[in-house]
Copies of this chain bind each other. A is one copy, B any other.
Amino acid sequence: MQSIRRTSSSATLSPPVIEVLKRPLATQLATVNPSGSPQQTIMWFKSEDGHFLFTTTTDRVKFRNYQHDPRASLTILDPENMRKWVIITGPLSVDHRDPLAFYQSLAEHYLDEKRLAEWRRTAVLERRTVLRLTPQRIRTMGFPDV
């Protein structure tokens, strides 16, 4: 099987990519520190209408980085196939939905019952906010052309 590497500047996700993004996968979110060095964190995400939503707290490095410079990048890799991935760049912005309801829905998407019970005991709810990444450029590998 030939690998399919495709770079799109249309900022639109194709249906096979949207399908994979429904799975509870990890994303690596990259921002830039005020010093100019790169910063990465492992995040839960929700893909919605072609955008990406995360939750963090306003005292964390990635939120302070966003306030300093909203430009970000994220990668999502198929855990069963290193040759199947999505890399997206675009600006972050604050999304004004209820952060606690959003965090709860993410936890239910990612965690089984046992882990969800643990999450309910330990989740950091204070200063929680929702960040949205609006794709400007999408690169993919391993997806069929549509």
CB neighbours of A39 from chain B (8 A): 30, 38, 73, 89
The oligomer's copy count stands at 2
Q: A interface vs B, CB < 8 Å?
A: 25-26, 28, 30-32, 36-42, 69, 71-75, 77, 79-80, 82, 85, 87, 89, 110, 141
Give the most central of A26, A30, A36: most B CB within 10 Å. Answer: A30
Main secondary structure of the interface of A (DSSP, over half): strand
- A38-B31 contact in complex given A26-B77, A79-B80, C-beta closer than 8 Å: yes
A31 to B40, CA, bound (A): 10
Shortest beta-carbon distance from A49 to chain B in Å: 23
Pairwise interchain contact B77-A42, C-beta atoms closer than 8 A: yes
Shortest beta-carbon distance from A24 to chain B in Å: 8
Pairwise interchain contact B72-A42, C-beta atoms closer than 8 A: no
